[in-house]
Structure 1
Amino acid sequence: MSERRGMFGRRRGADDGPRASVRDLMPYLFPKKGLLAGAIVLSVLGAGFALAQPALAQELIARVEQTQPLGWLPALLLVIVVVGAVLDGFQHFLLQVLGEHVVLRTRRTLVERMLRLPIAQFDERRVGDLVSRVGSDTTLLRAVLTQGLVESVGGLLTLVGAVIAMLIIDPLLLGLTVLVLAGAIIVMLAVMPMLTRASRQAQEQVGHLTSALERAISAVRTVRAAGATDREVAGIGERASGAFDAGVRVARISALVVPIFGVALQMAFLVVLGVGGLRVATGEIGISQLVGFLLFLFLMIMPLGQLAGAISAVSVALGALGRIQEIVRLPGETDADADVALEPAAGAPMVAFDRVTFGYPSADDPRTVLEDVSFSVPAGTRTALVGPSGAGKSTTFSLIERFYDASDGRVLVGGADVRDVDRASLRALVGYVEQDAPVLAGSLRDNLRLGAPEATDEQLLAALEAVNLGDLVRRAGAGLGAEVGEGGVLLSGGERQRLAIARALLSATPILLLDESTANLDARNEASLKAALDVASEGRTTLVIAHRLATVVDADQIVVIDRGRVLARGTHTELLDSSPLYRELATHQLLAPAA
């Protein structure tokens, strides 16, 4: 695989994981140009006030040496110290606010991109890892501002000003100081790439930890019922230990910077004190000049620390930004969509498959799921899809919704190839009830209004009555405001399924897709729901993945699918005579009692 050069010119390949450059970081640092400009101005003013203090102190000492009156110098020095402190405090506030804007903008960008990713991306990635990118990774970008970059602007001015002042006082002492500090800077620059890589690995470990925890919590009942709690705790503990070890590696590398600069500054101070004291003794410089030089040397400590902090913060942030950019750079589901609204053609079948072949994009299992599938569904009719588990029935619904696109052939809705129209206009025509009938955390009202945000409470109650869920509202003290729990855990399997169907009915779309819609219903609720579906299906095109015979017998058309191929089409009576597979399904599977 070809390699690319990352930051600091290091060659890297795919095994390094997502990386980002300083250029990638820049757009995230300017969400509020006014705040940024204000912080920079305050940083520059703070540098000016900081440089004035040692200069005034040197002048004070010189006047004391020469027994001259001090005049207004003490009062001016006090004012400069106080005003400088006030400016620093205000600058700190602006940087904190600016950092929060960086995090907010980044999170919004990430969430917007994540929720528009192709479905295939969610099949390949773990939810916990995606959540960790929105949470912890974005927070690290704040450190770029609050721990150095903007402050380093004023720090750099302070550093330059201090160097110039030290050059004026004594070039020899400045040369010795620079010589000592240069070695520390070289070592630090060598450490920074290691810190970037370690930080990225630490964030990845946090992502793995979040994924493992999310997995265990989402299936906590299954875990406990299987007696696997201790194993899950141990497994998550291992992930936590991995995150700890990675964090310790970051801390170990980061810790090199502090002693390097500490030793360098102490050595510089001792050299200046020793050589400077000798030069004072020989009369080459005065006491006030030595004190002034030492004060400017101390003044250099802060900007050097800021620059080191800025480099360290950028290195850490680039590791997190690489993971953020990995998601942001992924193409969204609608990025390549045609800007054409779907308008069904008169007389055309509402849904049609024309020699469709499809296989899920997976390197681990590249098998074909559908092969040369063709059938059509006239407008206003009901079609049932039947076949063994894994035959490809649910995949047909995914292709109609354009969660995936056919590898070959065409999927037509209203006579138009779904790849030639805008996804939003396509999905506005299709109501979809998935096989596992997902219910969102929140209230009954929140769930019902997901596809019909303008629906009134009366309409919501009517939809619930239609699917025999009226008692659920009546027995809940909060009515439509009753909470359903995370993933609908406070509802039974049948109630979750009926709630999802009620949600689809409210959308009033001309096409209705029902995937195993009666799988979790008892006989009484199945009959009630069938009556509701009969009413809802009037004037609508309905495709049902059949689980029970009652769903099949009244269908205008039944399509028998096995191993990705259409084996037969016809009515219930016709297929009993012509299709051995359908006859077997009707005799055994479709007549199975309710779960």
Structure 2
Amino acid sequence: MSHHTPDDDDDTFEDQRARVDQPMRRLFDEYGRENWLPLTVGLLASVGAHVLALVPPFVLGAAVDAFFTGPPQPFSLPLVPDWLVPASPVGQFWFSAAVIAVTFAGSAIFTWVKGWGLNEFAQSIQHQVRVDTYGAMQRLDLGFFADKQTGELMSILNNDVNRLEQFLNGGLFVASMIATTVVGVVGFLFYLNPQLAVVTMVTVPVVGVFTHKFVQRIQPMYAEVRSTVGRLNSRLENNLGGIEVIKASNAEGYEFDRVEDSSGEYYDTNWKAIKTRITFFPGLRLTAGIGFVLTYALGGLWVFSGPPLFFSGDLSAGEFVAFVFLSQRFIWPLAQFGELVNMYQQAVASSERIFGLMDEPGNLAQDEDAPDLVVDEGRVEYDGVRFTYEGDAAEVEDPVVDDVSFDLPGGDTLALVGPTGAGKSTLLKLLLRFYDVDDGSIRVDGQDIAEVNLGSLRRHVGYVSQETFLFAGTVAENLRYGSFDATEDEVVRAAKAAQAHEFITDLDDGYDTEVGERGVKLSGGQRQRVGIARILLQDPELLILDEATSDVDTETEMRIQESLDRLTENRTTLAIAHRLSTVKDADTILVVEDGRVVERGSHDELLAEDGLYADLWGVQAGELETIPGL
């Protein structure tokens, strides 16, 4: 039964994956080269371990012919000088036992070295790829994150990166085992009896064709599996983050169904890949097993009654025993070859998503050599600014910000008011270059913010949003965020200025109180005051307040406003407020509607105009029930 829903077929990372060419080659070029030492050590040790593992069957075959069948025969081993071999049969027997013991001990040592080398190689690349992918993601503008869900990004940073580690460790081990064992076994078999060796090899072309067909079928399946994992993670992340809303809305059943659909989609795609894989592996083992049966049957007949069919020459019992053991060693790598291909295809699907995210071009043009922003007066100018989230305001009839211009002298306060959705928050986010303008320019003290170092711009601008985000940790850690070297006295001063010190000291552990994920242990008003204190501690020259007192009660708002009035006295401030009483003393008030500035002036001047601002004021003062025309 299919669990797909119509929207589930959309892979939000399809465009990113399509841009990636030869992801595994790139992985080894960019990350494997600098980690060549542990890889080389691991592979050489793996080769050594597998070569030594092939020696016991060969020694056993020589011992069978020398000691256990018919009249005694001379005991000798390839590459072993005759002077090392004892003269007596008993001595030769114990010598063969010692050789086998040494090979097992040597194989164990090589296996440990192999484990260290390949794990060091895989873990190092896993770490570097995850950090580089996160770093590349951090450089993207907010528009990218608006189109992608957190769960999808987490799926790449966690699941896909971990999938690479599985191949770089387990996959390379299997590859080295297959290569070494096949080459070693084939060499030994042809050394013992070239004719019978050809029989053992007869199934190899069949295995090759079988594997090629498997790769063609499984590759697109794994790409879809990785996509469905991302969508499932997004659904779970959204639901866990919004559990309070779900419960309050009595929507548990609805969300259960949606999770069931997402999980069902993953079940369908993954089970389809699993069915292909579990059909391929037994078939591969059966094919390899046929080669072993042919070897065993023909070799046994050869020992019993001489060369069968068109074969010629002699085959001793010891050679036959060695052949049987080595043929078994040959079958296992052929069977494991399917697992190697499986791990490789999964790694390809994951690496496409990783490099697709890593290569995502940011919409923000950043010049590494751009000069730092220098703020003297703090003057802010918007000159014909137009912006739309689609990226081309010229082709959009109703851009989010449309031809906005103003000149704010340094140290003054500018207030933005207007209906919800008018574009006020977007207008101020442009000053931080969360997005770049489509047309026009924004200047600070005459410097175009698009032509200065982005980091220096944001160091000079403090931003308090209407939804303060707190990180899991203590109150003090959240206050110091962005001012990591601040002293305890400085932290307390900022908290007092934001009217936060009193409630912080009332907490169980004061400034060392854990706030929980997203600050869940604090009220909305408390989180907002911590956010304000955090920005005040940074002491920026420019201050953006995006409805900074929206989540506090009237009494707390008055206390915060008193502090803000003192702190913004000589600081350029741009503020959005849904309560007009908090901005009525601003030097300039802009009334924004549908992305355009429709009125500007002081509080008294705008009331005298009797326009939209006067209507907004009337509604909040209780003089009007609704705003005419809205």
TM > 0.5 fold call: yes
1:386 to 417, 421, 444: 417
Write the deviation string for residues 416-464 of structure 1: whole angstroms up to 9, x where unpaired.
1111111101001100011222222222112111121122222222222
* Distance apart, 1:267 and its partner CA: 0.8
1:432 to 448, 458, 463: 463
Q: 1:473 corresponds to which letter in structure 2? A: I
Residue in structure 2 matched with residue 169 of structure 1 by the alignment: 192
Q: 2:367 corresponds to which letter in structure 1? A: D
Which is further off, 236-245 or 120-129?
Answer: 236-245
Q: 1:390 corresponds to which letter in structure 2? A: G
C-alpha distance 20-259 of structure 1, shift in aligned 2 (>3 A): farther
Counting matched residue pairs gives 580
Would you say 1:308 and 2:338 are equivalent positions? yes
8 Å contact kept, 2:178–2:334: yes
* C-alpha distance in 2 between matches for 1:239 and 1:179: 46
Alignment of 1:126-145 (within 5 A): 126-145=149-168
1:490 to 521, 528, 531: 521
Considering only aligned residues, what root-mean-square deviation do their CA atoms show, in Å? 2.5
* C-alpha distance in 2 between matches for 1:327 and 1:380: 41
* Distance apart, 1:30 and its partner CA: 5.1
Would you say 1:223 and 2:223 are equivalent positions? no
C-alpha distance 409-333 of structure 1, shift in aligned 2 (>3 A): closer
* Distance apart, 1:97 and its partner CA: 3.7
* C-alpha distance in 2 between matches for 1:537 and 1:125: 37
* Distance apart, 1:306 and its partner CA: 4.3
* Distance apart, 1:219 and its partner CA: 1.1
2:361 to 318, 322, 331: 331
* C-alpha distance in 2 between matches for 1:418 and 1:590: 39
Residue in structure 2 matched with residue 24 of structure 1 by the alignment: 26
8 Å contact kept, 2:382–2:405: yes
1:119 to 142, 146, 156: 142
C-alpha distance 19-267 of structure 1, shift in aligned 2 (>3 A): farther
Would you say 1:475 and 2:499 are equivalent positions? no
Residue in structure 2 matched with residue 521 of structure 1 by the alignment: 552
1:299 to 316, 329, 340: 329
* Distance apart, 1:525 and its partner CA: 1.5
8 Å contact kept, 2:17–2:353: no
* C-alpha distance in 2 between matches for 1:338 and 1:579: 49
8 Å contact kept, 2:368–2:453: yes
Would you say 1:352 and 2:381 are equivalent positions? yes
Helix, strand or coil for the counterpart of 1:494?
helix
Helix, strand or coil for the counterpart of 2:54?
helix
C-alpha distance 376-231 of structure 1, shift in aligned 2 (>3 A): same
Residue in structure 1 matched with residue 258 of structure 2 by the alignment: 235
* C-alpha distance in 1 between matches for 2:142 and 2:62: 71
C-alpha distance 380-581 of structure 1, shift in aligned 2 (>3 A): same
* Distance apart, 1:146 and its partner CA: 2.7
* C-alpha distance in 1 between matches for 2:490 and 2:207: 72
Residue in structure 1 matched with residue 350 of structure 2 by the alignment: 320
C-alpha distance 354-16 of structure 1, shift in aligned 2 (>3 A): closer
C-alpha distance 295-181 of structure 1, shift in aligned 2 (>3 A): same
C-alpha distance 201-19 of structure 1, shift in aligned 2 (>3 A): farther
1:211 to 234, 244, 249: 234
Helix, strand or coil for the counterpart of 1:32?
helix
2:66 to 63, 66, 80: 63
* C-alpha distance in 1 between matches for 2:155 and 2:283: 33
* Distance apart, 1:105 and its partner CA: 2.0
Residue in structure 2 matched with residue 263 of structure 1 by the alignment: 286
Alignment of 1:536-551 (within 5 A): 536-551=567-582
C-alpha distance 447-50 of structure 1, shift in aligned 2 (>3 A): same
Helix, strand or coil for the counterpart of 2:592?
strand
* C-alpha distance in 2 between matches for 1:505 and 1:14: 42
Helix, strand or coil for the counterpart of 1:403?
coil
* C-alpha distance in 1 between matches for 2:383 and 2:108: 74
Alignment of 1:414-453 (within 5 A): 414-453=445-484
Overall identity of the aligned pairs, in %: 30
Q: 1:206 corresponds to which letter in structure 2? A: V
1:86 to 104, 109, 116: 109
* Distance apart, 1:346 and its partner CA: 5.7
Residue in structure 1 matched with residue 44 of structure 2 by the alignment: 41
* Distance apart, 1:591 and its partner CA: 6.8
Which is further off, 19-28 or 455-464?
Answer: 19-28
* C-alpha distance in 2 between matches for 1:320 and 1:256: 23
Write the deviation string for residues 122-176 of structure 1: whole angstroms up to 9, x where unpaired.
1000001111111111111122133232442353133112212222333332223
Helix, strand or coil for the counterpart of 2:441?
strand
* Distance apart, 1:400 and its partner CA: 0.2
Alignment of 1:573-588 (within 5 A): 573-578=604-609, 580-588=611-619
8 Å contact kept, 1:129–1:208: yes
Helix, strand or coil for the counterpart of 1:148?
helix
Alignment of 1:238-249 (within 5 A): 238-249=261-272
* Distance apart, 1:590 and its partner CA: 7.0
C-alpha distance 344-101 of structure 1, shift in aligned 2 (>3 A): closer
* C-alpha distance in 2 between matches for 1:112 and 1:173: 57
8 Å contact kept, 1:338–1:419: no
8 Å contact kept, 2:171–2:343: yes
Residue in structure 1 matched with residue 79 of structure 2 by the alignment: none
Write the deviation string for residues 192-245 of structure 1: whole angstroms up to 9, x where unpaired.
232232222222222111111111111111110100012212221222222223
C-alpha distance 471-333 of structure 1, shift in aligned 2 (>3 A): farther
